[in-house]
Amino acid sequence: MDTNGISACERLVMKVIWDSPEELALQDVMDRVNEENGKAWKPQTVSTFLSRLVRKGFLTSYRKGRYSYYQPVVSKAEFWKATMNENARFFAQGDMAAFACSLCEDILTKEDVDRLKRKIDELS
């Protein structure tokens, strides 16, 4: 899966859909994206993003009455894992340990590192 194949705006739409416990129609997606991200997108804008995501294979849609509802084809966990792998390949030549070490040095808080240590200990 090419996670670079979707734009930042499309990612915002996907996150709303992933975080929802129920399937959403266009109006629901638009309302949530606008509320959560301080946007003022119109229905046509969100509809364009949804159509692109369907075409790219990230979503499916079905009609129920007058409305189309959207379901993720790619799970949030699958997307996250693919994104991390792509970043590790790009920034650390595929060396996941080097990538994780870079996170520990530059991004993670002490609490994050302690949590990571506990997880590594569980896996050992």
pLDDT in tens, 56-77: 999 999 999 999 999 999 999 9
pLDDT at 13 over 90: yes
* Strand 59-64, strand 67-72: pairing: antiparallel
Residues 29, 13 contacting (CB under 8 angstroms): yes
For the residues 112-117, what does the mean pLDDT come to? 89
Name the DSSP class of 94.
Answer: T
Question: What are the pLDDT digits (tens) for 27-44?
Answer: 999 999 999 999 999 999
